[in-house]
Amino acid sequence: MPVKKEEPAQCLNYRNKLILAPMVRVGTLPMRLLALEMGADIVYTEELIDLKLIKSIRRVNPALGTVDFVDPSDGTIVFRTCALEKSQLVLQMGTSDAARALAVGKLVQQDIAGLDINMGCPKEFSIKGGMGAALLSQPEKAAHILRNLCTNLDIPVTCKIRILPQVEDTIQLVRQLAATGIAAIGIHARTQAERPQHQPHPDVLRAVADAVDIPIIANGGSRDMHAYEDLYKFQRECGADSVMVARAAQINVSIFRKEGSLPMDEIIYKYLRLCVDYDNAAHNTKYCVQNILKELQESPRGKQFLQCQTLQQMCELWQLGDYCKRKQRELKAKGNLGRHDVVP
């Protein structure tokens, strides 16, 4: 029987939503805020591993207006968020253990709107740890993790899976997971063995959506997403309640913009500004801008960009040099501790 819980007043609704997919290294605070500004309704964090989160320390950072979860061993920020995104933010966790997942859920639930469990990642690191797609072949364990979270947390819980090789098996798995009380299920329309170059299977998602009542979040359509309308096209093909976008948004986050995409330089400008405002790590900023630039990394400015090591240097290339200097001075004066300084 599904676990029935009273819905909190501001419970996240997963129907008719455009969603920024979880993406390691991409889905950090500046990109999530930019996706929301562009029109995304819900944004997922990158996958955060339970073992890392559980030992992190929650700190309010008044200088930045953020809440930081800090690794006490080296001072790195494991997860940074702020009030602006709270009502639309889903944290995705990698876990293989119900008790640990719940402990993390309790640690983070006051700062997020929903918690998602990654059950689709095919990478060796996840599979070896019994996480991600490893849970697809252990549905009892997957259901136990979800039921424990649904029963004991105050926020909605979801999971993100991949389809199984057989449609009927996929439907059965979704039914089994839905019965735990989860609020929605994200489904990547490819099997564990399939790679991004393979065609997704919207027909399988449609069959699942027809068979179950739980909101289905369709994912895996980026190959054919070049404009805003394409997001809805994929959602319709899948017969899904919502659509979740990864690669197409990684390259062009303004794909969420109803009024049409913005020029690449404008996206980079806006992104860099947010990186300055929230003191994003330079290596993470560089990685995300490289993904936006793609082959333009070969252009003269792209080549200059590849030489950059600091946020200041990157900002200089997009007419944000003075802004960065001023803002960093302000933040220092306000007492921003910086990414690597931790108060014991």
Please report, as ranges, the residues that interact with ligand FNR according to CB under 6 A.
21-24, 26, 46-47, 92, 118, 120-121, 160, 188, 219-222, 245-248, 250
CA 88 to chain CA centroid, nearest Å: 11
Q: Could you confirm whether 121 is annotated as catalytic?
A: yes
Instruction: Provide, rounded to whole angstroms, the least separation between the CB of residue 297 and ligand FNR.
Output: 16
CA distances from 76 to 33, 72, 79, 196, 339 (A): 21, 8, 9, 31, 6
Residues 6+ apart with CB under 8 A from 29: 66, 80, 81, 82, 85, 274, 278, 280
Judged by CB, which is closer to ligand FNR: 48, or 214? 48
The catalytically annotated residue of 82, 121, 159, 324 is 121
State the DSSP string of 22-70: P-TTTSSHHHHHHHHHHT-SEEEPPPEEHHHHHT-EEEEETTTTEEEEE
- As a whole number of angstroms, the distance between CA 82 and CA 246 comes to 22
CA 210 to chain CA centroid, nearest Å: 27
Instruction: Provide, rounded to whole angstroms, the least separation between the CB of residue 312 and ligand FNR.
Output: 26
- As a whole number of angstroms, the distance between CA 51 and CA 61 comes to 23
Instruction: Provide, rounded to whole angstroms, the least separation between the CB of residue 200 and ligand FNR.
Output: 7
Instruction: Provide, rounded to whole angstroms, the least separation between the CB of residue 132 and ligand FNR.
Output: 7
Q: Mind telling me the catalytic residues?
A: 121
